[in-house]
Amino acid sequence: MALPSTLPTLPDIPDELIRRQVFSHSSSLIFTANEVTPPQSNERLEFLGDSYLNFCIANVLFRQFPTLTPGELTAIRAGVVSNANLCTWARAYGLQNQLVMGVSMVHLQIPEKAEKIIADLFEAYIGGVIISRSDGRALVEEFLEAMVKPTLEEHRMILDGTIKVDKAAVGKLYELATIQKKKLEFKFTDSDVQGAEDRWEAICLWAGKEAGRARARNQQEAKHRVAAKVLQDVAAQVS
């Protein structure tokens, strides 16, 4: 999923105890237990955040796409709330850098190999915002609507048929890479959401660096789209 060009402000969590709980993985309970308040991981907050996140996204999609069927809305929502997407959102704000984990989890090398853990952290953060402030739910809804805006615009263009796929883009890009003696690679990720318009994401690496990303209903279409983007960007740099 595309990120907004300017990230919206992440709502803060004013309650320090709740904030500590948000960033406490179950493998590392950092609180001092007492008879009234046992130590807590972020799992309960994750449960709350996950539920409200799904509701907010469903509400946005329901309003933005009045002609789509429940199945179509479900497919889009599944892509938005996927672990891969929530992990991307969490990383955009550096949330993974504050996560406290136990020694037994160190080998996972956060964040590279623990996409679900970071996605869960994002959901826990949403839960933390909700319970730590009276305006938490409104702030979360406003924040999520801003985060998902580029994705909705892309889906709208797909549905309207305004996104065209240049099936010659890949070949043109390989030709340009040969001329400029640059290494060109494509990598793919599959959300496994059956029927989703953005199921596949293609990542284009130009000279070893990420040059662009694009999503589509199938792997080949995603590849053509990202190739077209990168082709345009590279041509602009040359001119």
Strands 200-206 and 209-216: antiparallel
- Pick the catalytic residue from 12, 15, 43, 50: 50
Is residue 15 annotated as part of the catalytic site, yes or no? no
Q: Note whether 90 and 189 are same-domain residues.
A: no
Task: Find, among 229, 230, 165, the residue nearest to 197 by Cα.
Answer: 165
Is residue 123 annotated as part of the catalytic site, yes or no? yes
Q: Which two tokens stand for residue 41?
A: 């991981």
Q: Note whether 35 and 65 are same-domain residues.
A: yes
- Pick the catalytic residue from 46, 120, 123, 154: 123
DSSP structure class, residue 2 = P
Intra-chain end-to-end CA distance of the chain, in Å: 30
How far apart are the C-alpha atoms of 198 and 204, rounded to whole Å? 16
239 residues of the chain, pLDDT tens digit each: 668 888 999 999 999 999 999 998 887 665 544 555 556 788 999 999 999 999 999 999 999 988 888 887 888 888 889 888 898 899 999 998 888 876 656 555 554 457 888 999 999 999 999 999 999 999 999 999 999 988 888 777 666 554 556 778 888 888 888 888 989 999 998 887 766 767 888 999 999 998 888 888 788 888 888 898 888 888 777 65
Q: Note whether 63 and 102 are same-domain residues.
A: yes
Q: Note whether 179 and 105 are same-domain residues.
A: no
CATH of the domain at 116: 1.10.1520.10
How far apart are the C-alpha atoms of 161 and 221, rounded to whole Å? 14
3-state SS class at 204: strand
Q: Note whether 227 and 151 are same-domain residues.
A: no
